[in-house]
Amino acid sequence: MTSDSQVASKDVEEGPLLKTMMNLAQFHRDHERFYATAPREAALRLQRQGRALQSLADRWSDVEVGDAAALSPFEGAEDLNDPAALQLEGVLFMEGEARPAELTGMIRDLRTRADDCRSTGEWLTNAMQASWQAVRALLDIDELADVLGERHRIIANDWLAASMNTLVAELLDRAADMIDRIDFTPAAVRADLAGERVLPRRLYSAAELMARAADLLSESAGLVHDNERRWRVFHRCVSEVADSTTTSSRH
């Protein structure tokens, strides 16, 4: 039989652990509300950028190269510009300019997003490895038996989201490499379009990587959003057990 002193000792041991679990359930639940939304916003941005590249690739796949004679270096290149790329991302090819500034900005955005996703993936992976080990201590608390699956599922969702962020970083870095290797001066683009038209194919490939990265970001947000109810259920159960433990330790 279990004596009153043994019960009291067990309650004292569980008290700090339950308090920590309640803290995690509260603050990490609120934190994850941000990460259930922000990746979708980033995905929309990536999709828009990718569509701009696809629109250029569509046009460059069959456009006839025009006359490069221009009176002003700021004249728009009628054969190279695409209305959708202009409206989506402001990509404007001018006769006397090199790579459009918007494409330079796009490359920078892709690399910055890649760095952010890589950092998120690394941090979240380490956090979930630590959480997985820490939650082992809950296995011996019978009163939490019903919600152990919820807590482990939260960790599994976040761990998978971490892996997705790591992969997104690689996809975006590679897409940036693809775009950065293209000579976007009007003369170089026209030379390619008058020949084998390699540039449209390069743009399609970069856009495909960006589209996949956008999909993964959206899926990672869905995984985190799936945790919302699980955190709520887990927090409620832990709170009830903690209250019961506090009450019993007083008697």
Query: Tens digit of pLDDT for each residue in 205-220?
Result: 999 999 999 999 999 9
In-domain check, residue 140: yes
The answer to pTM > 0.85 is yes
Give the Cα-Cα-Cα angle 223, 224, 230 (nearest 5 degrees): 100
Cα(17)–Cα(27) distance, integer angstroms:
16
In-domain check, residue 240: yes
Q: Determine the structural domain holding residue 109 and report its residue range.
A: 10-44+103-185+196-250
In-domain check, residue 49: no
Q: State CA 251 to chain mean position distance.
A: 50
In-domain check, residue 124: yes
- Kindly tell me the sign of the dihedral angle through the C-alpha atoms of 243, 245, 248, 249: negative
In-domain check, residue 73: no
**For residue range 56-112, what is the model confidence (pLDDT) as tens digits?**
999 999 999 877 677 788 888 999 999 999 999 999 999 988 999 999 999 999 999
Task: Report the domain count for the chain.
Answer: 1
Low-confidence ranges of the chain (pLDDT < 70): 1-14, 68, 245-251
If you ran DSSP here, which 8-state letter would residue 66 be given? -
pLDDT for position 247 = 53
Provide φ and ψ at 76, rounded to 5°. -70, 140
Locate 182 and state its tokens: 């293209």
Please report, for the chain, how many H helices and E strands are present, in that order: 8, 0
pLDDT for position 12 = 41
pLDDT for position 2 = 43
If you ran DSSP here, which 8-state letter would residue 64 be given? P
In-domain check, residue 205: yes
pLDDT for position 13 = 55
Q: What is the CA radius of gyration of the chain?
A: 27
In-domain check, residue 230: yes
Locate 129 and state its tokens: 């490895």
In-domain check, residue 237: yes
Asked if residue 227 lies in contact with residue 154, where contact means CB atoms within 8 angstroms, the answer is: yes
CB-based burial, 207-219: b 16+ in 10 Å, e otherwise: bbbbbbbbebbbe
